[in-house]
Amino acid sequence: MRIRQLRAFMTRDKDRPRVLVAIDTDEGITGWGVEIDEEVLKRDGYIHWQRKVPTKPDGSSGYV
């Protein structure tokens, strides 16, 4: 897979400027990236979050 195109967009989050990057690949996959403020991570730390998979009463996944 190769990156075909990068597009940057400037925006603001309250009083902080942000850069959003749209990424297009030669396989038709498109995604977004964000600039991370590393000073905030040093000060506040990183919190891992992961979506829990819902489970139905019969034990199967809640996703169809």
pLDDT at 34: 67
pLDDT at 50 exceeding the cut of 80:
no
Can you give the residue ranges of every domain in the chain? 3-40
pLDDT at 60: 84
Q: For residue range 28-45, list pLDDT tens digits in order.
A: 888 877 667 778 777 877
Phi, psi dihedral angles at 31 (to 5 degrees): -150, 175
Give bridge partners of residue 25 from the DSSP assignment. Answer: 3
| Cα 61–chain centre separation | 24
pLDDT at 63: 67
Q: How confident is the model at residue 64 (pLDDT cuts 50, 70, 90)?
A: low
